[in-house]
Amino acid sequence: MDPPGRRPVRRRRRCGGHSTRDSGQCLARAAGTAGLRTRNRTHAGQWRKLCPSDAGQSTPGVAPPTCHPDPTPPRRFHLSTRIAQTATEKILARASGLRHVRAGEVVSPQPDLVILHDGYIETAHRELSALGYASIVRPERVMFVTDHEVAYASPKAALRGKKIRDIARAWGVGQFFDVGRGGHGHLFPLERGFVQPGMYLSCYDMHCTTFGAVGALATAPGPEITTVLACGTLWEQVPATVRVELRGTPGPAVSARDIGFHITTLFARGELPAQHDNRVIEFCGDFADRLPRSERVALCNSLTEIGVANVLFHPIDGGAPVGAADWRSDADAAFESVISLDISALGPQVALPGGPHHGVDIDSVTGQHVDHTYIGSCGSGMYEDFVAAASVLHGRRIAEHVRLFIVPGTVDTAQRLVTEGLQSTFLAAGAVVLPPGCGPCAGGIMGPMADGEVSISTAATNHSGRFGSRTSQAYLASPWTVAASAVQGRITDPRTLLPNTTQHP
């Protein structure tokens, strides 16, 4: 029986192209998983489950089922003009071959693109191999990226890289971006146009909310992405949409990261008249519509850690492909909540150790000693982020006791830093420029922290042990604030080192 108050879930589900009631077998059953799960992780890091009675057990000695979908793709319908839908509903309806869907319904969308990073590829291959799967469904829609361990520090690391290359060949993945070919898997697909408005993606990493910057919808099933690889689809509950209108213009040296910390904190504290868990947060309003792609990336990335299903912007006017306007929410769509937020008085923010939802005004922590600084990550690894940092570092040196790591998000951004002189600015300031990728944010693989050290960075998150040591402390801030803090050796308001005219990128 379904829990009280929850919409009943129909028991007939589809995995790939066949009915689970007809076959009784799908990868979820063969693997003995715990049933249908909603997206994304909750704030506590747990999965919320639906329909646990659907779980099944594999039979020892029995070959794994054939779970490939029908060879024909789902039907594509023209968007209905008679039924108002949110952008999220439109995307999931199209990917599921349906005319329309509503929040709360369960669908089986087929991803346009499936992205796995190097931290999980081996595990996925091992799990599928144990179940007898020698191939994957629609390998042409699968992308492998190497962004966590981009500079091998040991023979074991090099062996892991070799295994990933072997798996890519064995599975025949359509796109494989190894070391030096692409960069961060949440950024270069945006730069190079692999991700377009209206696309539906399935990704291993929860920070795939970044793709909402261009009007694409991405979900992160985590380990269940093996089901997507084997079956071509996965149950998804259509999330409700909360619309947030941003009003006003922030002051000097305030970026989308600052706005993101502020909004994330308000949601986490329950100070906004709306729920956020497993909802899509859709930004709108004149300010949101004017934001460039780099700032949209930062804002979409900032809310991931509090358990939102996704974060979404409407496609940028004038820069989106033909037909992108189809993927905007209808004006009369059924939003769960609509809230308006004035950001005109907002100053620089800092997220305290423990998560981006611990945002405070910078005045609360000004003067805090720092040892380790880092500019990059999927939240602040685009070219414009480094322009902001360089505006602070130009003609200055970082403090003697500070380490500053510069990590371009993509190969293209790294090349641009060289050709436009920004890399020279960083090197002259005493920074270390690392290869494109995750940098220290990938569990401290590169540029880690020692016990007792304090960091301020533009990383995607700052939970305990994120940069290596669990006894270190990590603060989060904008590129401006991190650069200013590196120069002074303590958390510093960037407005003290910048002209008053400096605005968000």
What confidence score (pLDDT) does residue 242 get? 98
Length reported for the chain: 505
What's the CA gap between 131 and 319, in Å, rounded?
Answer: 45
Tell me the domains of the chain and their CATH numbers.
14-52+84-237 (3.30.499.10), 241-342 (3.40.1060.10), 350-496 (3.30.499.10)
The rounded distance, in Å, linking the Cα atoms of 224 and 40 is 12
H or E, element range at 313: strand 310-313
| pLDDT tens per residue, range 229-271 | 999 999 999 999 999 999 999 999 999 999 999 999 999 999 9
The single-letter code of the amino acid at 433 is V
pLDDT digits (tens, 9 = 90+) for 384-429: 999 999 999 999 999 999 999 999 999 999 999 999 999 999 999 9
How would you write 215-245 as a 3-class SS string? CCEEECCHHHHHHHHHHCCCCEECCCEEEEE
* pLDDT of 298: 97
Res 397: pLDDT = 98
Give me the pLDDT at residue 321, please: 63
The whole-angstrom separation of Cα 219 and Cα 237 is: 11
**What's the average model confidence in pLDDT over 37-46?**
36
Pairing of strands 175-177, 359-361: unpaired
On whether the CB atoms of residues 352 and 358 are closer than 8 A, the answer is yes
List pLDDT tens digits, range 273-314.
999 999 999 999 999 999 999 999 999 999 998 999 999 999
Residue type present at position 411:
V
- pLDDT for res 324: 67
Q: What is the pLDDT of residues 417-476, one digit of tens each?
A: 999 999 999 999 999 999 999 999 877 688 889 999 999 999 999 988 888 888 999 999
pTM of the entire predicted model: 0.84
Which of 1 and 103 is assigned the larger pLDDT? 103
Least confident of 74-88, 181-195, 311-325: 74-88
As a whole number, mean pLDDT of residues 177-195 equals 96
